[in-house]
Homo-oligomer: A and B are copies of this chain.
Amino acid sequence: MVASSALGRTLLSASRCHPTRGVSILPRVYSSAARQLADMDASRLTITKSTTPKPLVAPQDLVFGKTFTDHMLSVEWTATDGWLDPKITPYQNLSLDPATCVFHYAFECFEGMKAYKDSKGQIRLFRPEKNMARLSASSQRLSMPAIPEKPMIQLISKFLNVDERFIPSEKGYSLYLRPTVIGTQRSIGVGPPGSALLFVIASPVGPYYPSGFKAVSLEARSDIVRAWPGGVGDKKLGANYASCIAPQLEAAKKGFQQNLWLFGPEGYVTEVGTMNVFFAWLSRTGKKEFITAPLDGTILEGITRDSVLELARENLGPEGWDVIERKYTIAEVKEAADEGRLLEAFGSGTAAVVSPIKRIQWDGGMERRALGEKGAVEINVPLSPGSETGPIAQRMWNWILERQYGEIESKWSVIVPRENL
């Protein structure tokens, strides 16, 4: 657990091997293309077991992201050598020079995914190839390496075998996995990282709503913008998160749990908090519509979003629902609510799966915003009678969990082979 560990020393030596660039960014980039770089190779994994295993936390005491397993998976990359040998080591601090580029220029991206234990005790992942593809796209957008899907899923499977005892057995519980890529070049010159560290840590988690759904209230502001066309809002970068906290705290002081993110003078609905968002309403002509914003570069390409859409087409389609990806505005939501056509709304994400919405306070756009509270517009979202969710959110949650826990066999659920490691 101390920082002068093997991992710390290796990181230090790796960054020493890659002298900092100066103003020019060209020489290293072109020279690195001149030699064969090593691929990531799961067969070269080394495992160093912890000698101080942690006690397990009782399932009901688990808090999201608070406790971690005994080990971590890490793979270093350098621009001159490619991927170094993967390692599973005791969970430990990272030892990094204060000039390391991750601290200065936000060279960092991550994923959120979960491992589940089914009723037979098998370990399952849910669409892990989607997480790896997105991590690869995020990493490359930051001029860091592509992340190869196959060896990464093999390595995560081995990591799950090593820390298998931390995966809770109860339905709704899981082991949250956090693959992360950080730039490790020891340099405050602004340029592409000459070295990076991919690591995976894991935290056992309980259900997001331990005593049943709790619908949330949202604040929708027109003066704070999460993402922009030509920006990076569709990638899972650290850079998209830190600046969202201040608006969330301001919303919390007024009693709202999250922000509903709008875009442009039209007030397009984009996301909620750190989730994608769905609305169910009747169109003006009485058609049942289930709608979310399209992947236009400003929306996180949610894997739960994709699952929700496919399950909606499969299960809601036959019931007469149109499943729609298009731009839509908060004014449309308001109008549907006023006319009694708004049926339901919820967020979707890995942590909560679905998160029902009961109320939105919209500042009404920049002109009404200037009026303060007088300009604000209230939108009440229906819930099932006596419930904290709507019927689609409830059913969607069931459909997804049945597949995550292997109660219904699905192409999305991947069984992790058991190994003695």
A37 in the interface (beta carbon within 8 A): no
Tell me if A187 and B65 are in contact (CB < 8 A).
Answer: yes
A249 CB → nearest B CB, Å: 6
By a CB distance below 8 angstroms, the chain B residues around A241 are: 104-106, 190
Cα separation A238 to B248 with both chains bound (whole Å): 20
Check A93/B97 contact, CB under 8 A, given A228-B231, A243-B142, A243-B239: yes
Q: A98-B199, A104-B108, A143-B242 are in contact. List 20 more A-B contacts (CB 8 A).
A: A2-B3, A4-B4, A8-B93, A21-B63, A23-B208, A25-B248, A65-B188, A72-B98, A94-B97, A105-B241, A105-B242, A106-B106, A106-B242, A141-B246, A183-B242, A223-B230, A225-B230, A225-B231, A237-B243, A239-B243
Q: Which of A187-212 contact B (CB under 8 A)?
A: 187-192, 199, 201, 203, 208
Tell me if A178 and B143 are in contact (CB < 8 A).
Answer: no
| Selected A-B contacts with CB under 8 Å, 7 pairs | A65-B187, A66-B187, A102-B103, A106-B237, A190-B245, A192-B249, A231-B243
Tell me if A108 and B103 are in contact (CB < 8 A).
Answer: yes
A203 CB → nearest B CB, Å: 7
Copies of this chain, tallied across the complex: 2
Total interface residues on A, CB under 8 Å, equals: 78
Tell me if B65 and A245 are in contact (CB < 8 A).
Answer: no
Q: Which of A22, A95, A98, A178 gathers most chain B CB within 10 Å?
A: A98
A20 in the interface (beta carbon within 8 A): yes
A340 in the interface (beta carbon within 8 A): no
A408 in the interface (beta carbon within 8 A): no
Tell me if B110 and A104 are in contact (CB < 8 A).
Answer: yes
A104 touches which one: B95, B178, B183, B231 (CB < 8 A)? B178
User: Which residue on B lies nearest to A243, using beta carbons?
Assistant: B232
Q: Which 7 A-B pairs rank lowest in CB-CB distance, beginning with the nearest?
A: A3-B3, A3-B95, A225-B230, A239-B239, A106-B238, A65-B188, A105-B241
Q: What residues make up the interface of A, taking CB atoms closer than 8 Å to B?
A: 2-4, 8, 12, 19-23, 25-26, 29, 63-66, 68, 72, 91-99, 102-108, 110, 140-143, 176, 178, 180, 182-183, 187-192, 199, 201, 203, 208, 222-225, 228-232, 237-246, 248-249, 252, 274
Check A98/B245 contact, CB under 8 A, given A3-B4, A4-B4, A64-B22: no
A178 touches which one: B29, B66, B110, B188 (CB < 8 A)? B188
Cα separation A4 to B93 with both chains bound (whole Å): 10
Tell me if A63 and B106 are in contact (CB < 8 A).
Answer: no
Cα separation A301 to B242 with both chains bound (whole Å): 20
By a CB distance below 8 angstroms, the chain B residues around A190 are: 241, 244-245, 274
By a CB distance below 8 angstroms, the chain B residues around A225 are: 228-231
Tell me if B96 and A93 are in contact (CB < 8 A).
Answer: yes
